[in-house]
Structure 1
Amino acid sequence: IAAFTESGHTALMISKQKPMVPIFGLTSHPGCARRLAMYRGVIPVLIQPVNNTDQLFQMVGETLKKIGMVQPGDQVAVTMGLPFGETGTTNLLHVMVIE
């Protein structure tokens, strides 16, 4: 599960459900990444700021492959909120296949 988050709240809510798969907390804020490290099962990943969903999906695939957490053919559930940059707006779930 990849949770794109500005504040860490999305990753925290997913963590509370104790899924049996890793949770990647993707954020462009170093302070948020430090906070994510304290949540059960959440692996913080610091990324560059993004402006649109296509850019985010591409970055998720590239970043998770680069750190060796996924392989081509794996499925990743991506959560985020639109519009970008606003906290408390998680309203999108997208399942992507890693290329």
Structure 2
Amino acid sequence: MRQPDIVSLAVISDRHTCALPDRDGTISWYCPGAFDQPAVFSSLIDEEKGGYWDINAEGKNFVTRRFDGRSSVLYTTFSVPNGEFHLTDFMPLH
């Protein structure tokens, strides 16, 4: 896992904490529950010890991404050899 370029990061949040997905569909930072809790995914800080979550497919290429209006629901589209697929990232408000 390589660290993402800062310009490729987006923020999804539930107003208590956040996660940082990049254009490849990888979440490299996430502290569940609250911002001051220990991080579950922290490869943004430490590539070797920090964890991450990713989605992968053979021949996957980034096409576009956008937020749904003013929400933190993030839609990302990827192309693959036989078509495309869509990834939806969000954190439910509680």
* TM band (smaller chain): under 0.3
TM-score by length of 2: 0.23
Structure (1 or 2) with the larger CA radius of gyration = 2
**Looking at both structures, which has the greater relative contact order when contacts are Cα pairs under 8 Å and sequence separation is at least 6?**
1
Give 1 or 2: higher strand fraction: 2
Q: If each structure's helix is expressed as a fraction of its own residues, which one has the higher value? A: 1
- Normalising by structure 1, what TM-score? 0.23
